[in-house]
Amino acid sequence: MGILAVAALVVVPLLREYADFRRAWGLGRLTALGVTGLIVPATAIGLAVALPFAAWPLVQWGVTVAAALAAYSLAVRAVEGLLAPERAS
């Protein structure tokens, strides 16, 4: 049951993101996958930022998610700025 919850909360939105990169941005399969794959280093950043909170698991989880989302959003905005500078304002 836990795996299904993770899939619903993580995988489904990433699949939507991938589809959006393909449709709205006009990216090819591999390029859209690469941009969506930026979630991996973003998650690593989130984990690293949250290390000082290891004594408080709930706080550590929240910081990990918040930092990963922020890093991913910044990375996608940077890619968008490179691909379509007029849209990234």
- Rounded to the nearest angstrom, the gap between the alpha carbon of residue 77 and the centroid of all alpha carbons in its chain is 11
More confident residue, 10 or 85: 10
pLDDT tens-digit series, residues 15-29: 999 999 999 999 999
Which pLDDT value is given to residue 31? 94
Segment 28-67, tens digit of pLDDT: 999 999 999 999 999 999 999 999 999 999 999 999 999 9
87 vs 79, residue with greater confidence: 79
Contact 35, 76 (CB under 8 A): yes
| Residue 83: per-residue pLDDT | 87
Which DSSP letter does residue 11 get?
I
